[in-house]
Structure 1
Amino acid sequence: MKTTAELKSEAKEILRGRWGKAVLLNLIPTLLTVGVLIFATLSGLAWYSIHGTDTYLLSSVVEYQQNSPEGGGVSLVSSIISALFTSGITWTYLDLLRKERSEIQPLKDVFRGFQGAYIGGVILLTLLSTMFTTLWMLLFMIPGIVKIYAYSQCYFIYYDQIQQTGEKPKVLDTITASRRLMKGHKKRLLWLDITFLGWYIMIGLTLGIAGLWVMPYVSATRAAFYEDLQKNAQQ
């Protein structure tokens, strides 16, 4: 298995000479994410002005987003839209890594997850994995986090199945395949995520602007991680 440093090196190689288009590829989902956060915050403030009884504004807004049907709906829709964009972006980096293409087409590739062959599966994968993870979270926090990592490769697997067979795999089978592929590797991906912690802090400090450069790096590294998993699983 490749080390974290080797995976990051592969990601940098993928992005070499392509940073400009990679930033453009990430621009639309970044702007939409910021827009959703602003909308959710404004909705929470509106709810607070009408129903808020807590002396702390922040806790009231959080309460709205956690307990209000409208707040929960915004969160779920945001997760689905994020998955659709993220899938298309990471698939693009996977293709570049495999040398199945040589260029990024930002305005086209960012919407790959929305295409007819993929959109239904990505939505169902998001709904089911979110539901399963939430149920585990209701028991204990740690099992829920474990399941997040167990299901983390399902979008890659779904894409590969369609590319290789031309047929849409069953969503539950895809989630099961991700769980099996990640057996013994969840800690590796957790550590990989931890190594990006400083970059995530930078995103927060720049109000999301740094994400235009950080997220291509993260997405390309995750594509390299998946490819490494698949190659080792086939040995």
Structure 2
Amino acid sequence: MQTRRELKANARALLAGNWGTAIKLNIVPVIFQVLTGLIVSGAVASLGFYFIHFHPGIALSDFTFDFGDDYSTQQSFISGLITTYLLVGVDFALIDWLRTESAPTAPV
């Protein structure tokens, strides 16, 4: 069995000169997570802005985000599911890269 030091040395040797490929391989799930977070945050902020500015009779203390919980939960679940599939694909590509010791030709 390899020691931690040997594993790190093997990983560094494998990535030497291929950092761009490794970044390209991991960038798609990261971008997807960021965009999903921005969309959900923007939707919640837009609803808050709408109710505060266009319905001035509603007191700020009465304003809650309970009306969006079901949608938020479903959006979060679907987003998590898609991100999980993307990350599993990335993991399999990295394992294949490790086993064959040849970088993917088209990581994206």
TM-score by length of 1: 0.35
% identical equivalent positions: 24
- Distance in 2, Cα, partners of 1:5 & 1:80: 35
Q: What CA deviation, in whole Å up to 9, does each residue of 1:189-220 have, x standing for no partner?
A: xxxxxxxxxxxxxxxxxxxxxxxxxxxxxxxx
* Structure 2 gap ranges (5+): 53-58
The 5 Å alignment of 1:177-196 reads none
Question: Which residue pairs with 2:107 in the alignment?
Answer: 106
Asked which structure has the greater RCO (Cα within 8 Å, sep 6+), the reply is: 2
Aligned-partner SS, 1:17: coil
**Cα 1:37/1:17, change in 2 over 3 Å:** same
Question: Which residue pairs with 1:68 in the alignment?
Answer: 69
Q: Which amino acid aligns with 2:46?
A: A
Question: Which residue pairs with 1:84 in the alignment?
Answer: 85
Question: CA RMSD of the aligned region, Å?
Answer: 3.0
- Distance in 1, Cα, partners of 2:60 & 2:3: 51
**Cα 1:20/1:48, change in 2 over 3 Å:** same
**Cα 1:53/1:6, change in 2 over 3 Å:** farther
The answer on whether the counterparts of 1:14 and 1:93 sit within 8 Å (CA) in structure 2 is no
The 5 Å alignment of 1:1-235 reads 4-49=4-49, 50=51, 53-54=60-61, 68-99=69-100, 102-104=102-104, 105-107=106-108
**Cα 1:76/1:53, change in 2 over 3 Å:** farther
**Cα 1:92/1:54, change in 2 over 3 Å:** farther
Structure whose alpha-carbon radius of gyration is higher: 2
Q: What CA deviation, in whole Å up to 9, does each residue of 1:94-145 have, x standing for no partner?
A: 112112x5121212xxxxxxxxxxxxxxxxxxxxxxxxxxxxxxxxxxxxxx
**Cα 1:38/1:17, change in 2 over 3 Å:** same
- How far residue 3 of structure 1 moved from its aligned partner, in angstroms, is 5.2
Instruction: Flag as ranges the 4+ runs of structure 1 deviating above 6 A.
Output: none
Q: What CA deviation, in whole Å up to 9, does each residue of 1:135-162 have, x standing for no partner?
A: xxxxxxxxxxxxxxxxxxxxxxxxxxxx
- How far residue 80 of structure 1 moved from its aligned partner, in angstroms, is 1.1
Q: Which amino acid aligns with 2:44?
A: G
- How far residue 74 of structure 1 moved from its aligned partner, in angstroms, is 1.6
- Distance in 1, Cα, partners of 2:34 & 2:81: 15
